[in-house]
Structures are given as structure tokens and as C-alpha cells.
Chain A
Amino acid sequence: MTQTVRRHGWAIGLFALLVLLLIITKLIQPGYGASGIGSLARAALPFAFATAAQVIVVIAGGIDLSIASMMAVTSVTAAAMMDGASEEFAVVVVLFVLLLGIAMGMINGILVVLTRVPDIVVTLAMLFVWEGVALLILRAPGGAAAEWLKGIIVGTAGIPGLPAEITAWIPKALLVLVVCLGIVWLPLRRSRLGLSIYAVGSDALAAFRSGVAVNRTKVVAYAVAGLFAAMGGLVLTMSTGIGAPIPGPYLLASVAAVVLGGVALGGGRGGLLGPIIAVFILRLVRTDLTLLSVDPNITTVIEGTIMVVVVILGGLVALRGRSA
């Protein structure tokens, strides 16, 4: 028990902060309830997938600046392919787009490994490449999404064995997020490959001397990031019903959530849970600032300040914990 608390201390702290924010939200807007939670979950979806993509690359000791552009590519590809196609064909589209994400991620990873140019430079270049590719696929926002796909993230789902009063508070969007992240992350985290990713991020040379295939591990980390980015692109198309070739504000938001979520930017440390909770915190702060009708030019200042304060406080707590 104490070991679990120690390992997930940061995530538990963030979760407490999230609960506190939810209480504050309820105080600001007494009518805030299940529909508000549903909106929050849907707003968090693309940010959460972008963050998951960033988390795995950062843990492996890299950084991927092309995530938002890859989301744009997958989003426009999905929307363009589903335009005028049958509902059933959308299944093919989803699989194709997920593979496309993996392929793009692998290209990023292979370039990083082969060229030995720093990750930040390669992925910065790829940011422009993927952005151009997205514009080649769709010049302007357009396309369509299958109705069943759009329906996946709308409303709440009945879970067998749980009463309706509880399931009314569990939006489908949240379930989609948990299932999609869990399916990839949990097996990976427990596998030898997952351990290698942490090892490479922690100290690539030590990992190499311990027999870890460093290059292959890095490529896999980027490929998984591409997969998460593709999921992010898909949820963009699912929520808007179209594909937009101009990347949204997901890159910097993903880095922010990674930092706030307790993942070391140097690599090798951190998990997925903290950053995902951080995504919800950042979205809820945005909701609260809108509810309070704070001057929109001040909101970004407040958002940034909250991030810095939380990270500093967290650092202080961690320091004290170590010295005690």
C-alpha cells in the first residue's frame, strides 16, 4: 500500500487537485453536473491522446514536436476517406488510420535513429512535413465521419452491474479514453519492451551495455506515439465530424500536461496516469475561467501561472520527502 502511494504520489496529488477543482466548479456554477462532466471528457479527449503520445516519447528520452501535425494528417485522412462512404467502410478507415499513425511515428523514429540528429530537430522538421501532407490531403476543412463513430463519444454508456445513477456520471468519451489508452499502455508497461523504453530514456549507454536494442526501442516508442496521435486525430474527426488540415493547439498542451503530470523531460521517469489527470485539470481550469467570465486575454496568463505554481509546489514536496 505505502509503496503504491509512493510510486503514484504525484498522480494522487493531482487527482486531489482535480477533485478540489470539481468542487470549486460546482460552487461557481451550482448547475454543473453530469452534462458538464460529459463536456469535460469530450474536450479532454484529443488533448489526452496527444499527451499519451508525448509521454511515451519523453520517457524514451526524446520529444516529438510533430504530434499535432500527425493528428492533423490522420484526422483529414479519416474524414476524406469516410466522405460519401458507407457506415461499414468506416471500420476499414479506422484500422487504416491507426496503421498510418504507426507508420508516421516509425518514420520519425527511424529518422532520429539513422541521422543521429537530435530528436527535437528531426521532429521539428517533421512537424512541417506532416503539416504539408495534411494540406495535400485536404486543402480546407472538410470530409465527413460515420454516424456510429460520432456516436461513440456522445452521451453515457450503461455498464452491466452498475446502477443508472452512477453510469449517468460516466461519459462514453471517458470510457473510450480509458479503453484505448489501457489496451496499448498496460501490456506495454508490463512487457520487456516497456522496461527497455524506460531504460533507454534513463541512460541509453547503460541500456545498450545491458543488451537493450536502443535504436529499435526508440523507433518503437515513436511508433506507439504515432498510434496515440492517430487516435487523437480520429477523435478530432469524431467530435467535429470533419477533418481540419491546420494542426490544433495540441503540441504545447501535450508538453504542458507531460510536465504537470510528473514525467521527467530528461526521460526514463514517470507514468501515463499523472499526465492524463493533468489534461483534465487544464481543461477544467479553462471551464472555470469561462464560467467566471474572466477577461480572455488574462486566461492564458492564469493557466500558465497555475502550471508553474503546481510544478514548483510539487518539486518542493518531493524535495522535502527525500530529505525526511
Chain B
Amino acid sequence: MKFLPYAAIGALALAGMGTAIAQDGSYTIGVSNTVQGNGWREEMVCAIKAQALASGKVESLNIAHRNTDAAGQLEDIRNLIQAGVDAIVVNPANPEGINPAIKEATDAGIVVVAVDQAVTEQSAFVLSNNQEEYAYLGAKWLFEQLGGDGTVVYMRGAAGASADDDRDAGFKRALAEFPGIKVAHEVFTGWQQDQGKQQILDYIATGIPFDGVWTSGIDNVIVDAFVESDVPLVPIVGADNAGFVGQLNSVEGLVGAAVTNPGSIGGAGVTLAVRILDGETPGSRTVLVDPELWENVTADGRAKLAAAADPSLDPEWPVSISVPEWTNYSKAQIIACAGPGE
């Protein structure tokens, strides 16, 4: 138990730093995120760090970032309340499941901003990507490409996740508009690259023909699977991940579209939290960021894809590394992934 005295000394030193909050407009911001090791979420956390640094108004970040469920997020938020943060930026595990802790936070005078997905607790602010629209936009484009007739492989996210459920609603809405389109195969990738690739390889191996693939953001490995299996490419819809955007620009014969889903929304959440702490409360409790679709069929779409491509990014990172009017960090800052004091 030798480590304990050292821990206590370290604790005392840090306690001195932790108590000096909210002086000269410098805030402490807590972060709660429940998916670790996923490119999108890592970009979100880096955007939070970069924006906190770029704003010049955040003294320190307190990040609770691990793989857990709604009950674990309740614990993390309560720990952040105990840490005495001024604001909490949270990517909710569930729209309702973390409401009790959010209420406790706002009752304690802490500003809570939910990013990426919404929460139903009225005292929190929401800055979210429109997931239902995300799926609808891509699916509709895909079905139009197929001329409203054919079969598609439907590669979903994580079973039971609320973002997956919202996307499913959007996908089904598009499906209802195209009676000639059938789902040949439906799988959950769990938003894991390796799992998604294995699933499409297995399906290609069955030899059952299909006309298109819709993926919930596990995209570049799907293209890889086609190329490696040496089978003809079919139209593929994915997200704006750097690897997939690069493939849409370069892979011979690939027809596809990327739908934007900025992970940098986390940075926007920091901006909103700081604005509220500075006294600028927004008119509406909810701000929705609508997705865009970039396809490589028209000249206009190809121009957008070419402009968006960024080979310097990790292939699993979305290329939309900033949100206009909401973030002001540089590309170098988000890639450095360093927050205040790091």
C-alpha cells in the first residue's frame, strides 16, 4: 500500500488547483462520454479539448470517458458534480436514462449541454446531429441510384443504441417510399470496423446477389472487402469518415455517397456551454445540426468530396473536423488533441 501516501500528497496538490474555479472567466468543464475506442467519439473528445483550449475561457477539463451504460453515466455525472465543475458536456447514453443526474447538476447551478444525441430533461441544452435525417438522406439517395428496384444490405450500428434506433426510423421512412426496394440482409456492426468487415465478407461469400449497401458509418472497410474479394462494386452509402471520403474520390468504379455526421459537435458543445456561462442564453433549448450528402455521381458532388478529402486524418475520423460558427480551433489543434493545461 506504498502508493497511497503518494496518492494523498498528489491529491492535496491537485485539490489546491481544483478549488480555484471561475475566476477571470475561466471555467472548469466536465465531459461525460460512454463509448471509448471509436474514431468518431475520439474525434468528439479531441474537438472538446481543442475548443476548450481555443476559447481561452476554460481553465481545465474533467473528462469521464469510458465504455459504460446509462447507469454508469449517472455515476460519472454525479462524480463531475462532486468535482464542482461549472458546466458539463455530455454525449448521452440514452435520451431519458440520465435525466435524474442532469436534473441534479442543473439544480446545483451547473450548465448541461447534451451533444450528438438529445436528452428529454428540459433543464439541459441540446446540440445534436439529426440522426433520423442522416439515415433518410443516405438511404433515399441509394434507392434512387438503384432506380427504385433491387435488394440492399442494411448494416446497422449497435443494437439497442438510441442513435441506431433513430437512424432505423429514417431508413424505414425512405424504404416506405420505394416499394421496389427489399432488404436482402440486415446486420448490426456494433459500429466496429472488424466486425462489419467480417459480416460483409461472409455475405459476399454466400454468393447471393445484391444491388447496394447502406452502412451506419462503418464504411471504408466495406469498400476494402469488395476490392479484396475481387467482386464487382455496388453503390455504397457511408459516413464522412476520412478513409471512405478518400475512397469515393479514388477507387475505380465505386459509386457512393458520404453523409456528414460531425464528431466535432463536441467542440460546438463547449462553445455553447461557455456562451451560457458568459450569460448568453440561446433562444431555443435545442439546436439540431442537419446532415449533408456528398455523392460522387455528379460534378457538384465530386467537387464537394474533393474539397472535403483529408488524407492527413485518421481513416476513422469524420472529415468535418469543425462546425462553422461554433468552433474556432485550428486543424493542428484538433489533431494534437490537447486541452487546457496539457
Q: A residues near B, CB below 8 A?
A: 17, 20, 24, 27-32, 35-36, 39, 42-43, 46, 135, 138-142, 150, 154, 236, 239-242, 244-249, 283, 286-288, 290-293, 295-297, 299-300, 309, 313
User: Which of A46, A135, A248, A288 is the most central at the interface, judged by chain B CB atoms within 10 Å of its CB?
Assistant: A248
- The answer on a CB contact under 8 Å between A248 and B69 is yes
- The answer on a CB contact under 8 Å between A309 and B7 is no
**Chain A binding surface SS class:** helix
Within the complex, the shortest CB–CB distance from A240 to chain B, in Å, comes to: 4
- The answer on a CB contact under 8 Å between B82 and A135 is no
- The answer on a CB contact under 8 Å between B96 and A242 is yes
- The answer on a CB contact under 8 Å between B74 and A42 is yes
| Interface membership of chain B positions 242-274, coded 1 if the CB is closer than 8 angstroms to chain A and 0 otherwise | 000000000000000000000000000000000
Contacting residue for A35 out of B62, B74, B80, B82, CB 8 A = B82
Within the complex, the shortest CB–CB distance from A260 to chain B, in Å, comes to: 14
Name the interface residues of B146-173: CB closer than 8 Å to any CB of A.
Answer: 158-162, 164-165
Within the complex, the shortest CB–CB distance from B108 to chain A, in Å, comes to: 9
Q: A28-B15, A42-B74 are in contact. Are A241 and B160 (CB under 8 A)?
A: no
Whole-angstrom CA separation of A32 from B84 in the bound complex:
10
Question: B97-105, B129-137, B317-325: which lies at the A interface?
Answer: B97-105
Whole-angstrom CA separation of A24 from B10 in the bound complex:
10
How many interface residues does chain B have, given as a range? 35 or more
- The answer on a CB contact under 8 Å between A29 and B15 is yes
| Interface membership of chain B positions 46-77, coded 1 if the CB is closer than 8 angstroms to chain A and 0 otherwise | 00000000000000111111111111101110
- The answer on a CB contact under 8 Å between B83 and A29 is yes
Whole-angstrom CA separation of A291 from B100 in the bound complex:
20
Q: A31-B82, A299-B66 are in contact. Are A246 and B11 (CB under 8 A)?
A: no
Contacting residue for A293 out of B61, B81, B162, B165, CB 8 A = B61
Q: A46-B71, A290-B64 are in contact. Are A246 and B160 (CB under 8 A)?
A: yes
Q: A246-B160, A249-B67 are in contact. Are A39 and B79 (CB under 8 A)?
A: yes
Q: Which residues of A contact B158 (CB under 8 A)?
A: 246
- The answer on a CB contact under 8 Å between B160 and A244 is yes
Within the complex, the shortest CB–CB distance from A139 to chain B, in Å, comes to: 7
- Does B296 touch A at the CB level, under 8 Å? no
Q: List 15 A-B contacts (CB under 8 A).
A: A27-B8, A28-B15, A29-B83, A31-B84, A135-B160, A140-B160, A141-B94, A240-B71, A241-B100, A244-B94, A246-B160, A248-B71, A290-B64, A290-B80, A296-B64
